[in-house]
Amino acid sequence: MTRMMIAGAQLGAIQKADNRDKVVARMIDLLNEAAAKGADMVVYPELALTTFFPRWYMPDQAEVDTWFETEMPNHATMPLFERARDLNVAVTFGYAELTPEGLHYNTSIMTNRRGEIIGKYRKIHLPGHVEYDTTRAFQHMEKRYFLPGDLGFNVWRNEGVVMGMAICNDRRWPETFRCLGLQGVELVTIGYNTPSVNSQMSVEGLPQRLFHSELSLQAGAYQNATFVAGIAKAGLEDGHPLMGGSVIVDPDGFVLARAETEEDELILADCDFSKCAFGKTTIFDFERHRRIEHYGRITSQTGVILEV
């Protein structure tokens, strides 16, 4: 296929007390709506099965582990995989992964239209902090609960389309999109859970956060001639606001569809992936234009070194 109807299934708030069955039922409702509207693939958010638990300080690892999945699919999510298979719709969603070796990742999987998992990605850019931070209005403990992803940035050919995954904070780092762009990516799916306010800088409000999210997604799309679907978990979770702003962006950086609410909301875009070719063979023909002999700092240096 070089043309797919891509749906973004933005999720509204998931409360700490909401169990996975209740959430999966909401995800299936959105899947049914998407299929009825002709969707070939549905993109769900980061940590789609639970509340954004990294906002909570949990000293007891046994409690932390209750937010993680040890298998995928599993009892709670099998109905989603089966319904997607029956509807011939591919899906991608994020969840907290606990491996058999006892390692914890912020993970996303992607299926084909037969409900088979074809790809897995583990979030590489983890924001936040490890120890309880009394200076913050609320905690953001992703660095405490997750390891940095160990699988790298990869692509998979799904229904004939070159697809890659990233998660939330990854969208703020151009390296994410370029690593996928250098593999010929035509669709990047990015689920996110982004607090509406900054826990450290209360002056940064929702409009600025929405702007930065969309700016990052549009830049990634344009500079790598790829479609991008950035899909939120939004709404007020136990008193903590997460922003919406889900969008599907075309290879020229234009927004094709945008969510209007902070609830469960479906957005759709008819994506003709042949539209990626122009950018990849002209302005962003990487082979013709990139000068890697001058890019060494990007992989040899982590932080800023002031030499002047």
Catalytic sites, residue numbers: 46, 123, 168
Among 92, 108, 111, 194, binds ligand ING (CB under 6 A): 194
Nearer to ligand ING, 79 or 127 (CB): 127
Nearer to ligand ING, 144 or 172 (CB): 172
- Cα separation, 33 vs 232, in Å, equals 18
Spatial CB neighbours of 180, under 8 Å, sequence gap ≥ 6 = 153, 155, 164, 166, 188, 224, 226
Strands 227-232 and 3-10: unpaired
- Pick from 205, 150, 193, 139: which is nearest to 168 by CA? 193
According to DSSP, the residues that pair with 122 across neighbouring strands are: 107
Q: Name residues contacting ligand ING, limited to 95-154 (CB under 6 A).
A: 127
Q: In the bound complex, what is the minimum distance in angstroms from residue 169's beta carbon to ligand ING? A: 3
Nearer to ligand ING, 32 or 208 (CB): 208
11 contacts 264 by C-beta, under 8 angstroms: yes
227 contacts 6 by C-beta, under 8 angstroms: yes
Q: In the bound complex, what is the minimum distance in angstroms from residue 292's beta carbon to ligand ING? A: 28
247 is a site residue for ligand ING (CB under 6 A): no
Nearer to ligand ING, 230 or 251 (CB): 230
Stretch that binds ligand ING, among 143-151, 168-176, 256-264, 282-290 (CB under 6 A): 168-176
Among 4, 14, 110, 168, binds ligand ING (CB under 6 A): 168
Which pair of tokens denotes residue 183?
């593999």
Distances in Å between the Cα of 87 and the Cα atoms of 32, 80, 161, 219, 268 are: 8, 10, 19, 33, 17
| Coil, helix or strand at residue 282 | coil
Stretch that binds ligand ING, among 18-26, 109-117, 149-157, 165-173 (CB under 6 A): 165-173
Q: In the bound complex, what is the minimum distance in angstroms from residue 97's beta carbon to ligand ING? A: 15
Which pair of tokens denotes residue 203?
């002056």
Among 145, 177, 192, 227, binds ligand ING (CB under 6 A): 192
Nearest residue to ligand ING on Cβ basis: 169
Nearer to ligand ING, 111 or 213 (CB): 213
169 is a site residue for ligand ING (CB under 6 A): yes
Tell me how many residues contact ligand ING (CB under 6 A). 7
Q: In the bound complex, what is the minimum distance in angstroms from residue 47's beta carbon to ligand ING? A: 8
According to DSSP, the residues that pair with 165 across neighbouring strands are: 189
Give the burial string for 84-116 (b: 16+ CB within 10 Å, else e): bbebebbbbbbbbbbeeeeebbbbbbbbbbebe
Q: Which residues bind ligand ING (CB under 6 A)?
A: 127, 168-169, 172, 192-194
